[in-house]
Amino acid sequence: MSRQARVLLICDDRRGAPNTVLDHIDAFRRYSRHDIHTLNTRDMPRSIALDLDYFDVAVIHYSVVLSSLNYLSADFRDKLRRFRGLKVEFIQDDYRWIDRETAASRDIGINVLFTVAPEPAASQVYDERLPGVRRVLTLTGYVPENLVGRPIKPLGERTIDVGYRARDLPFWLGRLSREKVWIGQRFLERAPAYGLRCDIAWTEDQRIYGERWIEFVSSCRATLGCESGASIADFDGSVEQAVLTFMGAHPRATFEDVHEAVLRPYEGNVVMNIVSPRVFEAAALGTALVMFPGEYSGVVSPEKHYIVLEKDFSNMDDVVDKLRDDKLVSAMTARARHDLIESGRWGYRAFVDQFDQVVDADARTMRGPSIALRYRATQAERAMRVPPPTVRLARVASRLLHRDPSMRFSVEREGQLRKGLLAMRVGLADPDLRPLLRLGRRSGTSLDRLLREILELSLLRRAATGDLPGQSFVVGIEFDPERRALSFVSAAAADRVPERITSADSILEAVRRRELTVIEWDHRPLGGQVRLDRPSMVVGIGLDGLETFSVLTEIGRSRPSALERALTPLLSGALRSGTSPRVKA
């Protein structure tokens, strides 16, 4: 096909989306030789103006969950189903919700699938579920354009020998996903013996973003790495549910405990090992890579682009010797920068060229009328419908009533507003929580964060006393004096801890002395969400089920009596329910 095709890219490009997602979307607009139009259908119930027959190609970006009505309503799904042009889908998390996602793909008639799953994993997952669909191998990310041509900090000015950040991923993704944490933990354990200056962490509170992240990587002589992906494919969600059920009964289980009890039969059923975009960041910034051996999607080669660290750390001495060799490190980072960055092979332009070739080969163009008017009308519809009027009114109220920036709140969806209003109502009505709301306001904390913690604390208090309708879990308490941490852990109701003659005095005394530095609620064993009947809504607890009450902790340091008043019923309720505090020695 030589003529320019009209392409509708359905994507979630809302303000605040991750930069990697926005870069991926923007690459289509910048580099495609075809006529690219984007449309965000998230939370948009319908469109009167949109007529897909004006387009030659419809693309479902990976930022849109095809099976979710929040992203694609029944109206848009029906339009896609009836669309006669080329239908292309991008998927990144190929190992999750496989049956559900492929059923949605079949329903609308996807023709081409861009997948990060290499062979044989792609065949195992898609041959039977998406027969006849053309597959194109792609990557999760490419060279960030803001790093191309950026000056390289000399080795002598780098203050960190090895720096690294990782995220603790769910157990049900298998051993491969755990390597991101393991490489950091085990390297950090051995580093002091070699006198290495390390900045390595894997918890959420230690993550770094934006320009600070770029500066961090630039300050490191080397960074760690391993393959991304998963070694377990959860076709129907049963593996995830089995893990959650087991952790509900054993909330302190380690990965090895869960693997032995649940995951062993699934481990390696499908292995999706791919390169991480972090590799491109390090190469662009002249930072050496120390990585476990792997395929890395064919992007890098061992000892040419990265120093190999065996998974049993048996060659740690050799790795450290190479890291200290300025000549070796300089030559290796120069090769990586040339081959990965300067060559352009792994840039967004090359990625979009691959996409354009698919469109050239598979799309049929039609000489229809101009789409400009209808496209502008569709975008105007979204501007009028999303966010809904209730959210708009809340934003106006925030600006008019609260000149103090700390009292402005960011609301993108109607569900956020409902939860915020519920938190406000709970905070004002409960005499134990009202002081926290007032003190949080005075401290200048953002209203978003304050209301979230107030709402979740109220749910935690109700759960401890068994006052949540349909409640199927109990709340255990753990106090670690050394860490000065108070942890509330959800567990299945059947896993009640026998009542012991233990009081909450030591915890409350720590509150009075302003000694608590961490208050957290771990609801991950139960899936990370609490469902309410009145009002009907689902409340997500913290980040993936782990909430750290940072605002309440700060209030406790300045006004311990207010925090004590809020925690006392919670601790007493847990004692009455038979889940006595466990004090770490």
The reported pLDDT for the residue numbered 585 is: 41
Average pLDDT, the chain: 86
Task: Identify whether the C-beta of residue 111 lies closer than 8 Å to the C-beta of residue 56.
Answer: no
Q: What is the mean pLDDT of residues 571-582?
A: 57
Tens of pLDDT, residues 303-313? 999 999 999 99
Residue 413 has pLDDT above 60, yes or no: no
Per-residue buried b or exposed e for 532-548, using 16+ beta carbons within 10 Å of the residue's own CB = beeeeeebbbbeebbbb
Cβ neighbours of residue 256 under 8 Å, at least 6 residues apart? none
pLDDT for residue 64 is more than 70: yes
**Predicted confidence band at 330 (pLDDT cuts at 50, 70, 90)?**
very high
Q: Is the dihedral of CA 2, 4, 6, 11 positive or negative?
A: positive
pLDDT in tens, 247-263: 877 878 899 999 999 99
Q: Determine the pLDDT at residue 264.
A: 97
Looking at 210-214, 219-223, 413-417, which range is the least confident one? Answer: 413-417
pLDDT at res. 368: 62
Q: What pLDDT was estimated at residue 462?
A: 87
In contact, 166 and 182? CB cutoff 8 Å: no
Most confidently modeled range among 423-427, 554-558, 574-578: 554-558
Residue 577 tokens, joined? 């329910």
- pLDDT beyond 80 at 82: yes
Higher pLDDT, 389 or 283: 283
Please name the helix (run of DSSP H) or strand (run of DSSP E) that holds residue 574, with its range, or none.
helix 560-576
Strand duo 57-60 + 198-201: pairing: unpaired
Which pLDDT belongs to residue 373? 66
pLDDT score of 537 more than 60: yes
CB atoms under 10 Å from CB of 289, counted, come to: 22
* pTM confidence score: 0.71
Please tell me which residue, 366 or 359, carries the higher pLDDT value. Answer: 359
Instruction: Return the top range by mean pLDDT from 5-14, 295-304, 418-427.
Output: 295-304
Q: Name 225's bridge partners.
A: 291
- Return the half-sphere exposure (C-beta side, CA atoms, 13 A cut-off) of residue 443: 21
Residue 478, C-beta contacts closer than 8 angstroms, at least 6 positions apart: 486, 487, 489, 581, 582, 583, 584
pLDDT for 499: 41
Residue-range domains of the chain with CATH = 6-139+347-385 (3.40.50), 145-231+271-342 (3.40.50.2000), 389-583 (no CATH)
pLDDT of the residue at 417: 66
Strands (E), 239-340: 272-274, 288-291, 307-308
Radius of gyration of the chain (CA): 26
Please answer whether residues 525 and 493 qualify as being in contact, where contact means their C-beta atoms are separated by less than 8 angstroms.
no
108 neighbors 66 (Cβ within 8 angstroms): yes
Higher pLDDT, 1 or 549: 549
Maximum Cα interatomic distance, the chain, rounded to a whole number of Å: 81
Which contacts of 29-36 are long-range, i.e. CB under 8 A and separated by 24 or more positions? 30/348, 30/352, 31/348, 31/349, 31/352, 31/353, 32/7, 32/352, 32/355, 32/356, 33/4, 33/356, 34/4, 34/5, 34/6, 34/7, 34/356, 34/359, 35/4, 35/5, 35/6, 35/7, 36/7, 36/9
Residue 442: HSE in the Cβ half-sphere, 13 Å Cα cutoff? 10
User: Residue 395's pLDDT is what?
Assistant: 57
pLDDT of res. 524? 74
Query: What confidence category does residue 188 fall into, taking pLDDT thresholds of 50, 70 and 90?
Result: very high
State how far the Cα of 155 lies from the Cα of 472, in Å rounded to an integer: 56
Please give the helix or strand (H or E) that residue 164 lies within, else none: strand 160-165
Query: pLDDT at residue 351 above 90?
Result: yes
Alpha helices in 346-490 (DSSP H): 348-362, 372-385, 389-401, 414-429, 434-442, 447-464
Query: CA 556, CA 550: separation in Å to the nearest integer?
Result: 10
CB 571 within 8 Å of CB 581: yes
Three-state secondary structure string covering 418-435: HHHHHHHHHHHHCCCCHH
Structure tokens at 268: 């390696």
Counting residues of the chain whose pLDDT is more than 70, the rounded percentage is 86
pLDDT at 370: 63
Residues 477-519 pLDDT 10s:
888 887 788 888 887 765 554 343 346 788 888 899 998 888 9
pLDDT value for 352 = 98
* Closest by Cα among 162, 311, 141 to 226: 311
Query: What φ, ψ does residue 539 adopt, rounded to 5°?
Result: -110, 120
Q: What average pLDDT does the segment 92-105 reach?
A: 90
pLDDT at 497: 46
| Cβ–Cβ < 8 Å for 579, 490 | no
Question: Percentage of the chain surpassing pLDDT 90?
Answer: 53
Assign 406 a pLDDT band (cuts: 50, 70, 90): very low
Residue range 47-64: mean pLDDT, rounded: 91
Tokens coding 401: 């009533």
Q: What is the mean pLDDT of residues 453-472?
A: 82
Q: What integer pLDDT is reported at residue 142 of this predicted model?
A: 95
The residue with tokens 């349909």 is 470
By mean pLDDT, which of 37-41, 129-133, 202-206 is the weakest? 202-206
| Average pLDDT of the segment spanning 350-354 | 97
Per-residue model confidence (pLDDT) at position 464: 82
Choose among 475, 455, 478, 457: nearest CA to 466: 475
> Which pLDDT band, with edges at 50, 70 and 90, does 333 fall under?
very high
What confidence score (pLDDT) does residue 388 get? 61
Backbone angles phi, psi at 487, to 5 degrees: -120, 130
pLDDT at 500: 37
Q: Quick check: 92 pLDDT over 80?
A: yes
| CA-wise closest residue to 579 among 508, 505, 495 | 495
Looking at per-residue pLDDT, the higher value among 111 and 557 belongs to 111
What CA–CA distance (Å, rounded) separates 299 from 345? 9
